[in-house]
């Protein structure tokens, strides 16, 4: 399935990176960012990129099902099988795995965050969003994982945007690229696309490109790296892993 892919055959020295998007606040934009970052990462040569949706609502899966492009691939799994499936994806030369999570702070979200190399916490510049970040930060820091805040859905030159920048910066590292509120984000997600795939150029596409560039550098350790604990041994399971591409599910067992 990945023949000719830019990362195929890069050898055992490469380790797949895992980004988890987490926030206890619903409506923070996790799903939209997950889809956009996955597409931008693939376009930037980080592929093959895989997506996993652990939110029971399934919004990311719905977006992918409407998508015409064959990439990124979508992985069907369960929470119980997720650790083993992540290890199998490493063996398959996947370059990047992005996992969307539900708006909650529970054992399931904790288990997903534990698998991450980087946790992205989106927050809109609203009092409710900003008040909700503390629990997510505590969970991520308890697990010893690095985190990045993304200010999402911001209004240009609004006072609350400036205040949000100050508050988020006090709790952790804030991405230097702000994602602003624009209708093209919602419009593109309706039919499985992203703002980068709409006709013409847009400031939204430029923001996603800049945001991914920053996160890619963070994953490479070029932006204040932080050592991570060694992951625990994960048992392998002899079963097929359902990965969906443009032609539908395929058996990779």
CATH, residue 63: 3.40.50.300
Work out the average pLDDT over 145-158. Answer: 93
In a domain, 12, yes or no: no
CA 43 to mean position of chain CA atoms? 15
The pTM of this model reads 0.84
Q: Does the structure show a pLDDT above 60 at 225?
A: no
pLDDT of residue 223: 43
In a domain, 85, yes or no: yes
In a domain, 237, yes or no: no
Q: Which residues share a beta bridge with 120?
A: 21, 148
- When mean pLDDT is compared across 8-12, 108-112, 187-191, 230-234, the lowest value belongs to 230-234
Strand 73-76 and strand 17-21: the pairing is: unpaired
Q: Give the closest residue to 165 by CA, choosing from 183, 178, 156.
A: 178
pLDDT of residue 37: 98
What backbone phi and psi angles, to 5 degrees, belong to 149? -85, 145
pLDDT of residue 233: 37
Work out the average pLDDT over 75-97. Answer: 95
In a domain, 233, yes or no: no
pLDDT of residue 244: 64
Q: Does the structure show a pLDDT above 60 at 71?
A: yes
Which residues neighbour 171 within 8 Å (Cβ) at sequence distance 6 or greater?
133, 134, 137, 149
pLDDT of residue 238: 34
What backbone phi and psi angles, to 5 degrees, belong to 206? -65, -40
Q: Does the structure show a pLDDT above 50 at 234?
A: no
Using a pLDDT cut of 90, give the percent of the chain over it.
74
pLDDT of residue 100: 97
- Radius of gyration of the chain from its Cα atoms, rounded to whole angstroms: 17
Q: Does the structure show a pLDDT above 70 at 192?
A: yes
pLDDT of residue 91: 92
Q: Does the structure show a pLDDT above 70 at 232?
A: no
Query: Which letter, b or e, does each residue of 8-42 get, where b requires 16 or more Cβ atoms within 10 Å of its Cβ?
Result: eeeeeeeebbbbbbbbbbeebbbbbbbbbbbbbbb
pLDDT of residue 230: 31
Q: Does the structure show a pLDDT above 80 at 252?
A: no
In a domain, 229, yes or no: no
pLDDT of residue 241: 55
Which domain covers residue 33, as residue numbers? 17-221
In a domain, 75, yes or no: yes
Band (pLDDT 50/70/90 cuts) for residue 15 is: confident
What does the alpha-carbon distance between residue 31 and residue 91 come to, in Å, rounded to a whole number?
Answer: 26
pLDDT of residue 123: 95
In a domain, 34, yes or no: yes
In a domain, 105, yes or no: yes
What length does the chain have? Answer: 253
pLDDT of residue 200: 84
Q: What is the mean pLDDT of the chain?
A: 85
Using a pLDDT cut of 70, give the percent of the chain over it.
82
What does the alpha-carbon distance between residue 18 and residue 66 come to, in Å, rounded to a whole number?
Answer: 24
Work out the average pLDDT over 11-34. Answer: 87
Band (pLDDT 50/70/90 cuts) for residue 221 is: confident
How many domains in the chain?
1
Q: Does the structure show a pLDDT above 90 at 152?
A: yes
Band (pLDDT 50/70/90 cuts) for residue 201 is: confident
């Amino acid at each position: 399935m990945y023949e000719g892919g830019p990362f195929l055959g890069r050898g055992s020295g490469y380790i797949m990176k895992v980004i988890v998007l987490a926030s206890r606040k619903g409506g923070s934009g996790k799903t939209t960012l997950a889809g956009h970052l996955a597409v931008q990462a693939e376009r930037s040569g980080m592929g093959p990129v895989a997506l996993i949706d652990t939110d029971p609502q399934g919004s990311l899966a719905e977006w992918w099902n409407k998508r015409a492009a064959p990439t990124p691939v979508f992985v069907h799994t369960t929470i119980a099988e997720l650790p083993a499936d992540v290890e199998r994806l490493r063996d398959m030369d996947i370059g990047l795995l992005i996992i969307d999570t539900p708006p909650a702070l529970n054992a399931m979200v904790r288990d997903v965050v534990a698998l991450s190399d980087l946790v992205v916490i989106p927050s809109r510049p609203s009092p409710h969003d900003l008040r909700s970040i503390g629990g997510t930060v505590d969970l991520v820091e308890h697990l010893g994982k690095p985190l990045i805040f993304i200010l999402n859905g911001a209004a240009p030159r609004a006072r609350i945007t400036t205040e949000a920048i100050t508050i988020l910066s006090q709790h952790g590292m804030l991405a230097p690229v702000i994602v602003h509120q624009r209708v093209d984000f919602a419009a593109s997600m309706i039919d499985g696309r992203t703002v980068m795939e709409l006709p013409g150029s847009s400031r939204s596409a430029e923001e996603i490109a800049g945001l991914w560039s920053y996160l890619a550098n963070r994953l490479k350790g070029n932006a204040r790296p932080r050592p991570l604990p060694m992951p625990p041994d994960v048992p392998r399971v002899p079963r097929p892993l359902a990965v969906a591409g443009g032609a539908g599910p395929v058996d990779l067992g």
